[in-house]
Structure 1
Amino acid sequence: MSLLSYTYVIEHVPGEANVWGDFLDRWGATRTSTATATGARMSRLAAVERVSPLEAADFVWPSEDDIRAAQLAVRAKDSMEPSQPPLCWSEDRQLFVLADERVCIPDDAVELQLRLCVVAHAGAAGHRGAKTTAKALEVLFSWRSLRKDVSVFVSECMHCMATATGKIPRSLGETLRATKPNEQLQSDFLSISEGAGGLKYVIVLKDNTSGYVQLVACVKATNDAVYQSLLD
């Protein structure tokens, strides 16, 4: 936009002829090793918490040992329902499977079913819909209420609620709305690499009415730090 006040002509100079431009562009440039550049870049990266449920520290991946234990527990109690489909024991996998080789998940193994739903719904393909999630599970597993359970699971996924409809039901009451500045404030902590003076957190303060955001560096992520930042 600054060039609009001048009269100028644009001419193309071939690269092999533009020796002075190439020379000036390289003037005083120092070669930086890849290792040094990478190290400097990495030192500025923030420590971001994992947001995927599959990467949560308390999430336990379902294994064939877990499935086998659940199946044997049901067989030991001799509580197989009359409507349970015919099963056969797979010597190769050491599991009870159906005629089509799908693994049978006991109907009362709710926690195991939930973990399987998490893997099928929130995997590398993102948060899938109910039909796609159920189809992915039905390829390998079977339990009587699979489709119904998957439908309920996906309908209660907080991430899917926000992206699909933009609204998340609040069972404990309506969302509070501010009517004037400073009436409702939100705060959160951001973890960063430690800097001068031991500063390794950033308090994010936001006014819900104006959308004004203030960032405050602090040493510890505590209530006192938020309180002091509001006073300042």
Structure 2
Amino acid sequence: MKRGGIPSNGVDWDDSHFYVDPEGRIWIPDGAVDLQQRIGVIAHQGASGHRRIAATTKSASDKFVWTTLSTDVETCVCVCLHCLCIDREMVPSPLGSSLHAKKAGRAHPFRLIVDGHGQLLV
């Protein structure tokens, strides 16, 4: 195992399933932050679209396990550019669906921020 990761208690090696816990979930080392972020992104914006925190956490935790899974997934959902997160609740974008460009630099996402004193286009 690279990076010196040590499996959690109850996590055993299985030649066809890597390191798995007693529930059959794949164990991800704490040092594999890039992999954890990728799993969070895929769980959030997979086949069902941009889902809320609870649904994204369930999707990731059904197949994977690591120490900070819940907080990492919550952070992933709250920083999603296509979602608006208010008081830890994901709300659909108020301006409709997002644009998706076919080539880099062809679409520029923006948000209209209204604070009672004025408006700011970001």
What TM-score, normalized to structure 1? 0.36
- Name the structure 2 match of 1:144: 67
- Name the structure 2 match of 1:109: 32
- Name the structure 2 match of 1:73: 2
Q: After TM superposition, give the deviation of residue 119 of structure 1 in Å.
A: 1.0
Q: After TM superposition, give the deviation of residue 129 of structure 1 in Å.
A: 0.6
Q: Alignment partner for residue 50 of structure 2, among 120, 127, 133?
A: 127
Give the secondary structure class of the aligned counterpart of 1:89: strand
Give the secondary structure class of the aligned counterpart of 1:126: coil
- Name the structure 1 match of 2:107: none
Give the secondary structure class of the aligned counterpart of 1:118: helix
Larger radius of gyration: 1
Q: Structure 1 stretches (4+) deviating beyond 3 angstroms?
A: none
- Name the structure 1 match of 2:13: 89
Give the structure, 1 or 2, with the largest relative contact order (CA under 8 Å, sep 6 or more). 2
One-letter amino acid of the structure 1 residue matched with residue 54 of structure 2: K
The structure that is helix-richer by fraction is 1
Paired with 1:104 and 1:90, the residues of 2 have a C-alpha distance of 11
Q: After TM superposition, give the deviation of residue 118 of structure 1 in Å.
A: 1.3
One-letter amino acid of the structure 2 residue matched with residue 88 of structure 1: D
Give the secondary structure class of the aligned counterpart of 1:96: strand
- Name the structure 2 match of 1:43: none
Q: After TM superposition, give the deviation of residue 100 of structure 1 in Å.
A: 1.2
Structure 2 spans left out of the alignment, 5+ residues: 95-100, 103-122
Q: Percent identity?
A: 33
One-letter amino acid of the structure 2 residue matched with residue 164 of structure 1: V
Paired with 1:115 and 1:164, the residues of 2 have a C-alpha distance of 22
Structure 1 spans left out of the alignment, 5+ residues: 1-71, 168-189, 192-232
One-letter amino acid of the structure 1 residue matched with residue 91 of structure 2: A
Superposed CA deviations along residues 40-66 of structure 1, whole A, max 9, x for unmatched, are xxxxxxxxxxxxxxxxxxxxxxxxxxx
Q: Alignment partner for residue 21 of structure 2, among 95, 98, 110?
A: 98
Superposed CA deviations along residues 163-221 of structure 1, whole A, max 9, x for unmatched, are 82758xxxxxxxxxxxxxxxxxxxxxx98xxxxxxxxxxxxxxxxxxxxxxxxxxxxxx
One-letter amino acid of the structure 1 residue matched with residue 2 of structure 2: A
Give the secondary structure class of the aligned counterpart of 2:82: helix
Paired with 1:126 and 1:165, the residues of 2 have a C-alpha distance of 11
Note if contact 2:82-2:93 (Cα within 8 Å) is conserved in structure 1: no
